Amino acid sequence: MTGRGRPVVAIVQAAGPIHLGRSGGPSPLAGRSIGSDSLSAALRGVAEDDKVETVVLRVDSPGGSAVASDAIHREILRLKEKKPVVASMGSVAGSGGYFISMPCTEIVSNATTLTGSIGVLAGKQVTQGGLDRLGIHRALVSTGPFAGMLSSQRGFTEQEWDLLSRFLDDVYADFTRKAADDRGMSIDQLEPLARGRVWSGAQAADIGLVDRVGGLSDAVLRACALADIDPDEADTRISPKLGPLDRFMPAENSNSPVASLFGEGHALVDRAMASLGLGSTGVLTMAPIRWR
């Protein structure tokens, strides 16, 4: 239990693949996932919590969506303006997992953490041939020159390959530029360490991609040191943490702990109402218009 008046070290968890929307899991098959909406709400919540003096972002992720990772990256930069943020890397923090770690005030990695992988990857699986052998036939109807670009019914055309390559080049340039800025390097220093290469945590510390080697407890100590608080006088808590009644209440705003887990209007009561056809899409919904 948090002591009255004691400073708080908030641990925000970021485990699983990164995607847009709300976080998922844990589930037996898919495990956990990191939704940009949920994690961003959690970060905004600890930023506005006066009891929280410093934050540890516990990252265990192989990455995922570039857009979602960038949204989280922006929230960490905003949080860092108010209080220190220390990334604590688990078993893997690569690609998007590294993307959301690199803006933190400091990065603490396990010696064996798979980290780095500053690179981009894209493609698609073409399944139509297998479906044809099963007697399943589908028709592709396109409304524009690139409408079927990501369809699994055919491969890329040369023009589509060129478009995809240019898109990936732009994403890679953005990744390396931001990584260089976050780590205080020039792009000429950072780029040879990128190119999709994966490093152990110990190697990453030697080349400057992380600041030090250590576990979660070491990250908590570093967070306390950066906030100039005595770790023996501080309380550590997982954030966001909901009370029994919080789960039944709708989110008041995007900083609410309920929003970080369920999104606006998705508390348990709202879910039950929606199952009865009585739910609302949100409080910023225009009332029905009746024409006379």
Residues belonging to the active site: 95
- CA atoms of 88 and 90, how far apart (whole Å): 7
Token pair in block for residue 158: 């040369």
3 state SS of 265? coil
For 171, the 3-state DSSP assignment is helix
Q: Which of these, 225, 221, 205, lies nearest to 213 by C-alpha position?
A: 205
Helix, strand, coil shares of the chain as percentages rounded to 5?
35, 15, 45
Instruction: Please calculate the CA angle 213-216-221 and round it to the nearest 5 degrees.
Output: 85
What are the backbone angles phi and psi of residue 137, rounded to the nearest 5°?
A: -120, 130
Q: At what angle do helices 36-48 and 66-80 cross, to 10 degrees?
A: 0
Say how far apart CA 164 and CA 89 lie, in whole Å: 31
